[in-house]
Amino acid sequence: MSDYSSLLSQVLILYIVMIIGALIYRLKILNDEVVSGITKLLLNVTIPATILAGLSNSGQLVKTDMLKMTGLTIFSYLFVFVLSLLILKVLFIPKEERPFYQYISIFGNIGFIGYPMVLIVIGSQGILLAAIANVVYSLLLYSLGIYLMSRYSETEKPAAFEWKLMVNPGTIAAVLCIVLFLFDIQLPGIVNQTAELLGRLTSPLAMIVVGASVNRIKLKGVFKNYRIIIISVIKMTLYPIAFAYLLRFLGFSGMPAMLAVLFMGMPIATTSVITAMEYNQKNLVKASEATVISTMMLILTIPVLVFAMSIISGAV
């Protein structure tokens, strides 16, 4: 894991790019149509390329790491699911709003923020394991996530899980990498170099999109929703620390455990905006506020993530 000063400088660079994204959107260099196109480029090209490029840097991994990553990811979501139920009770959230707040308590930004953070904190050797975690995340997002977001919508009918949502370039790239790794197959050099070139676009483009999204909400009122602020703080500080101590108590260590802790401390998922737009427009403003607030908080919670991962590594 990188030392703290190096990690902080890399995160600051991401934030500078995010600010640039906000500025160029406000200057009308970008518009909603362009941002939508960049988002599609990320989801369909650069993130899958990042995953494929991670295969060539997986030499330090063994096959048991993949099983550990799968198990720890499932365990981490059971952990946060239980904690989310406690949060709902403590914050006295009205019944019709509970599914939304449970959604943002559970799902973090693994795609736009998670992959860049893995590259910064652990390096490209962690991308394959991150892809495995993302497969589990996607299964839950397109089942439990959609169910929660669609509760108490205009139709009053929770949306059903659609398998076709799982078939996308990101999950295809992840599954392909897992298969290739299991059978010790490497991609041809020219394919890997192309994937690495495209993958380098992921971090800057993702932060430009996040920055542009800041302009979609009124920042003057964004911090008035105390429930979102409290959930963001809990999610990005208490979650990773508590989970790290639990994993150390259970005897887990190594890269899979560190990644599981890292992902637990990610900001609220940008997919909350996408799923709210699709399944429950009543949650759209809150979803945008939650995404922006938690992403802005990341710069303050980086020391907590470093501490949590040091618990796993045995440094504390």
SS3 for 257? helix
pLDDT digits (tens, 9 = 90+) for 151-163: 877 666 665 656 6
Helices 284-313, 255-264: crossing angle, 10 deg rounding: 150
d(C-alpha 80, C-alpha 282), whole Å? 24
Q: Do the beta carbons of residue 127 and residue 56 sit within 8 Å? A: no
Residues 6+ apart with CB under 8 A from 176: 52
Q: Is the pLDDT of residue 1 over 60?
A: no
SS3 for 192? helix
Query: H helices of 201-264, where?
Result: 202-214, 219-222, 226-233, 239-250, 255-264
Q: Is the pLDDT of residue 281 over 90?
A: no
Q: Is the pLDDT of residue 137 over 60?
A: yes
Question: How many other CB atoms sit within 10 Å of the CB of residue 235?
Answer: 28
Higher pLDDT, 93 or 178: 93
Q: Is the pLDDT of residue 89 over 80?
A: yes
pLDDT digits (tens, 9 = 90+) for 200-255: 888 788 788 878 877 766 666 666 788 999 999 999 999 999 999 999 999 998 88
